[in-house]
Amino acid sequence: MSKPAGMESPLELAKRLSLPFLDNPYQLTRALTHTSYLNEHSEVLDDNERLEFLGDAVLDFVVGAWLFEHCPEMREGELTKARSALVRTEALAKFARHLDLGRAMRLGKGEKRTGGSKRDALLCGTFEALIGAIYQKENLDAVKEFFFPMLDTFGDEIINGTPLSDSKSTLQEWTQAQKMGIPRYETVAERGPDHAKIFDVETHLNGKIYGKGSGQSKRVATQLAAKETLKILGVE
C-alpha cells in the first residue's frame, strides 16, 4: 500500500532523525501506530500504547537527570516543578512538532479527518512511544543523546514560560572579538524562601561591573545579566 502524499514512512523518519531503527523499523513503526489505525487494519498487530507507557517512565528519569546536571542551584521542590513542566502534554507535543512527527503518525481515517496529527494529546503520546522504542532498542544513553539537545534548546523556555535567548554566548563572542576578555558572572545574592528563591547575578568584565540579572535559577539570572550587558555595550 502506498503512503499518502506528504506522509513519511517509518524508515524515512529513521533516516531523517538518525534513529537506531534502520536495520529493523518494527519498533519505530509500532511507536507511530495509534490505536485507531490498528482498529482499521487487521494485518497490524500492535499499537503504541505499551511503548507510550514505557516512554512516560523513561522521560521522568531522563528529564530529572538533565535538570540535576544542568540546574545545580535548584532545590528538590523546584526540580519537581521543572520536571512536571517539561513532561506535561503541551511540552512533549512541542518536542514532537520540532521533530515533525505528525507526518509519520499512523492514524485511522477518523483521526486523520479531525486533525489528529496536530493535536497535543496524540503528538505527546507518539513522542512518549518514540522514547520508549529508543530505550527498548538501545538504552538510556541513547535516549539522552537523542533528547538532551532538545532540552538544551527548549528547556529554559518551557520551564520559565518565555524564550530565553543565549545572550551569554553572544556576549562572550563579542568581547573576545573586541579583545576585552571573557565575562565573569558572580552570584551576589540569594533571596526568598527555599521553594521560591531568587538569584541576583552580576556581569564582571575587565574588573568592572556591567549588567545585572535576577531569576529563579542562576542560569536564567546569568542570561539576563548578559543581556543587560549587551545593551550597556550597545551590542543589542
* pLDDT for the residue numbered 1: 45
The residue among 128, 153, 123 whose CA lies nearest residue 143 is 128
What is residue 30's predicted lDDT score, i.e. its pLDDT? 92
Catalytic status, residue 173: no
Condensed to tens digits (0 to 9), the pLDDT of residues 125-178 reads: 999 999 999 999 999 999 999 999 999 889 888 887 755 567 888 899 999 999
Looking at per-residue pLDDT, the higher value among 191 and 43 belongs to 191
Q: What 3 state SS string does 167-228 have?
A: HHHHHHHHHHHCCCCCCEEEEEEEECCHHHCEEEEEEEECCEEEEEEEECCHHHHHHHHHHH
Set 56, 60, 138, 157: catalytic member: 56
Q: Which domain-ending residue is among 123, 145, 160? A: 160
Residue 5 in this model has a pLDDT that exceeds 60: no
Domain boundary (103, 138, 160) is at 160
Q: Do 104 and 81 share a structural domain?
A: yes
Specify whether 151 is located in the same domain as 211: no
Helices assigned H by DSSP within 74-195:
76-87, 89-99, 109-113, 120-137, 140-160, 167-177
Q: Does 112 lie in the same domain as 56?
A: yes
The last residue of one of the domains, among 103, 130, 160, is 160
> What is the pLDDT of the chain when averaged over all its residues?
88
How many separate domains does the chain show?
A: 2
Per-residue confidence band for 218, with pLDDT thresholds at 50, 70 and 90: confident
> How far apart, in whole angstroms, are the C-alpha atoms of residue 57 and residue 21?
21
Residue 222's domain comprises: 167-232
Tell me the HSE value of 43 on the side-chain side, using a 13 A CA sphere.
1
Q: What is the pLDDT of residue 117?
A: 81
**Predicted confidence band of residue 191 (pLDDT cuts 50, 70, 90):** confident
Whether 128 is catalytic is yes
Q: Which residue has the higher pLDDT, 113 or 222?
A: 222
Query: Is 61 inside a domain boundary?
Result: yes
What is the pLDDT averaged over residues 22-34?
Answer: 91
Clarify whether residues 80 and 30 are in a common domain: yes
Output the nine-digit C-alpha cell for 110. Answer: 477518523
Residue from 8, 47, 78, 128 carrying the catalytic annotation: 128
Residues 57 and 148 in one domain: yes
Q: What would the pLDDT profile of 77-124 be if each residue is shown by its tens digit?
A: 888 888 999 999 999 999 999 999 999 998 888 777 888 788 898 999
Q: Are 17 and 35 in contact (CB under 8 A)?
A: no
Measured CA to CA, the distance from residue 62 to residue 40 in angstroms comes to: 34
pTM of the predicted model as reported, rounded to 2 decimal places: 0.70
Please say if the pLDDT value at position 37 is more than 80. no
